[in-house]
Homo-oligomer: A and B are copies of this chain.
Amino acid sequence: MVQRVGVIGGGQLARMMIPPAVELGVELRVLAEQPGSSAALAATAIGAADDVDAVLAFARDVDVVTFDHEHVPQDVLRVLVDAGVSVQPGPDALRFAQDKLEMRRRLSELGVPVPEWAAVEDEAALQAFVDAHGGRAVLKTPRGGYDGKGVRIVSAGVEGADWFADFDALLVEELVDFRRELAQQIARRPSGQVALWPVVETVQRDGVCAEVLAPAPGTAPDDRVRAVCAEIAVGIAEGLGVTGALAVELFETTDERVLVNELAMRPHNSGHWTIDGAVTSQFEQHLRAVLDLPLGDPTPSAPWSVMVNILGGPQDEPIDARFERAWASHPAAKLHTYGKSARPGRKVGHVTVSGEDLDDVVYQARAAAQAFDD
């Protein structure tokens, strides 16, 4: 009786579920948008995530449906649930990851600390918010944003004109004066068990995650910030009914508060370090969680792990030449490729290095990623 997990979406997150599925003896099936996806090895069906017939046909042959991304429309998710399919996380949770206004409203109801925010329906309302918050604010489309898209800093209402044409309302937030960005990974089973990795520091460049330092430096196990982040994540996972992996992106402010920035209800870039740096990776944990199996030990397996994304890189250099260059000098670097063609700025892989000295680990990880990427 092999359990079958169906993943909608064939990107790198589905791809990175393949190794733990092989180890656990779980049959992974992937509904990919097109042939030749990152998760091609497990891609058993081709179809769009908003094609209800394709998704339903795919779902009927698996024990649980989960996701590589949050772009499956609510009406498609509801059809699955009505057909008796186990969808993890379910539509009632996923809508808070799909719509930033719904997320902000619900987190505020739950008393979770968030930046000051408002739903604005026109330029005048946006201008009023900007005026009330020091002349600058962060404007976000409620849906469709990722990796810096759908987010802009504005200082006048007119700067939202194009987005107001497409959305009934936009989310506007105070520009948080933050010391650094953090991310808290948690996994939760439908039956309630949760497991948390230590909070990590994320370093963004141009709106895209560039590096992750795990654990976040300065957050010992008894640290206040670590405890606050864990408490926030448990509150969100339980309050929103999240199942599977949840990533909570946070700001640590200059006045020592922790505010929730974004949510992702799936394995997340900020948790890739767990593949090599924790007893149980976020991908293995996600599979266990959506199948409602006991969760694994999330303890880090080394004092420090640092993950560096590989962005783009030249198209024409053979991969073995890049391996040769990177590994010859950094034999402890763990490379993960996504099976994507290189394109400047595109995440095509990542490198993790673990060890006892943070400075050395950061150096090794950056140098190895640079060598692969040159």
Contacts and interface: CB of A to CB of B under 8 A. Distances in A.
Contacts of A332: 279, 296-297, 299
B297 A331 contact: yes
Nearest to A354: B301
A148 B280 CA distance: 34
Nearest to A329: B294
A18 B22 contact: yes
Interface string A259-296: 00000000000000000000110000000100101111
B279 A293 contact: no
Interface in A320-338: 320, 323-324, 327-328, 331-332, 334-338
A349 B25 contact: yes
A161 interface: no
Contacts of A2: 319, 339
Nearest to A23: B336
A165 interface: no
Interface in A201-250: none
A24 interface: yes
A279 B330 CA distance: 12
A1 B320 contact: yes
B1 A331 contact: no
Contact of A331 (B22, B295, B337): B295
A23 B310 CA distance: 13
20 contacts: A1-B319, A2-B339, A3-B319, A3-B320, A18-B22, A23-B335, A23-B336, A24-B335, A24-B337, A25-B339, A279-B334, A288-B327, A293-B320, A293-B324, A294-B323, A294-B327, A295-B327, A296-B331, A297-B331, A301-B354
Interface of A: 1-3, 15-16, 18-19, 22-25, 41-42, 279-280, 288, 291, 293-297, 299, 301-302, 318-320, 323-324, 327-328, 331-332, 334-339, 349, 354
